[in-house]
Amino acid sequence: MAVKILAETLLSIRHIAKRFGDNTVLDDLSLDVHKGEVIVVVGPSGCGKSTLLRCINALEPIQAGEILLDGEPIKPDGKNITELRQKVGMVFQSYDLFPHLSVLDNIVLAPRKVQKRAKAEAEAEALTLLERVGLKDKAASYPRELSGGQKQRVAIVRALCMHPEMLLFDEVTAALDPEMVREVLDVILKLATQGRTMLIVTHEMQFARAIADRVIFLDGGNILENTPPEIFFTNPQTERARQFLNMFEFAAVKHHAPAED
């Protein structure tokens, strides 16, 4: 991706720790995210990637440190948590659509209930967004009538309809059949071109390389690498990252002998 001129800091994570009992999942982790920046978080299973997103969105409490959005602390028990959470949209790998509601009703539920927006206004925006992801004809359908890729695109539209300042994507292709992955990734790529601020957890390395302004490599609850994709994928700075990339056939860290003429 083209190099972006970094704007002001939107999210600041300062020395956070997250533990489940005696298990430390995030250990003294710090990170800044700038407006309009796309950060991709990669790492082995169990390294704390999804937990990091859940802490940012106040779905999990932290035991140390602080997380600031626009300078305001994010805390699960904070007085302003509803307002702050509206600014951070999250899309899960499991879609989390209400099965008894139509696609349109799934999308407009939060704008109407939480933001108190007029039904006509919310529905008009939802239909516009559905059209952009190729699903306007599915507005009256129910989740059971959709493919996995379609459900995930609806979940993305639902998040967008809340006008978040930042979007969090947690392995949104993990539950999809391979042929459905591309349709979801294409939507996220388009969002990146629109200047959306995004933090993306993914195991799709080709996608990460194409979309990221920065790649965060997480292992053991620590950030081991925090670099542009061209550096991470061609010249990783740690042996652990090299081992991780060697699991993927495309990884540029694998040196092949040139073909003979």
Give the tens place of pLDDT for each residue, 79-126: 788 888 889 999 988 888 999 999 999 999 999 999 999 999 999 999
CA gap 182, 90 in Å, rounded? 20
Give the tens place of pLDDT for each residue, 219-252: 999 999 999 999 999 999 999 999 999 988 644 4
The predicted structure's pLDDT at residue 123: 97
Residue carrying structure tokens 């300078």: 71
Domains in the chain, number: 1
Asked whether residue 259 is assigned to any structural domain, the reply reads no
Asked whether residue 57 is assigned to any structural domain, the reply reads yes
CA gap 70, 163 in Å, rounded? 15
The predicted structure's pLDDT at residue 5: 54
What is the largest distance, in Å, between two alpha-carbon atoms of the chain? Answer: 69
CA gap 176, 94 in Å, rounded? 10
Asked whether residue 256 is assigned to any structural domain, the reply reads no
The predicted structure's pLDDT at residue 251: 46
Residue carrying structure tokens 């699991």: 247
Instruction: For residue 233, give the CATH number of its domain.
Output: 3.40.50.300
Residue 152, domain extent: 9-245
Residues 6 or more apart from 52 whose CB is under 8 A from it?
A: 18, 26, 29, 41, 201, 218
